[in-house]
Amino acid sequence: MLRAFAAEVTSTLLDGNRHQTPGLGTFSTCIRKASAKRAACKMVMFRVSAELRAYATGGSLPLVSGPHAEVVSFIVEAMQIEQGVDVPLLGRMAVVPVVGKKPKLIFHGAQELNDVLPSSC
């Protein structure tokens, strides 16, 4: 089921669209600026939903819906554990505690996903 979710996200991104996942957030692509050591390239990014951000700081569980609701619920819960969750072909997602501040919600796109994007990093 995780692979089906990742496949849907990947397909949507390859079509040039954003993938909005209720209760989780939005996957999209961006252009990483060139530097002296590398050329500009396209990569996957993730913007956390307000509901997930609130949940990470002690709020209520985000409402998830759609065909992947069970998988998204698993991802939301797994992000809360120390090592986070690796979603095959999509990337690593986690809630990282920061002393004295709100936790950071991170996403590191899988190399396999970034590799299939045109002009990828």
Q: Where are the domains of the chain?
A: 2-116
CATH number of 2-116: 4.10.520
Q: For residue 82, what pLDDT is reported?
A: 87
Q: Whole-structure pTM over 0.85, yes or no?
A: yes
Give per-10-residue mean pLDDT for the chain (121 aa): 92 94 95 86 93 95 94 96 92 95 94 82 64
Q: For residue 23, what pLDDT is reported?
A: 95
Through-space distance between the first and last CA atoms of the chain, rounded to whole angstroms: 27
Question: Inter-axis angle of helices 69-79 and 2-14, to 10 degrees?
Answer: 100
Q: For residue 32, what pLDDT is reported?
A: 84
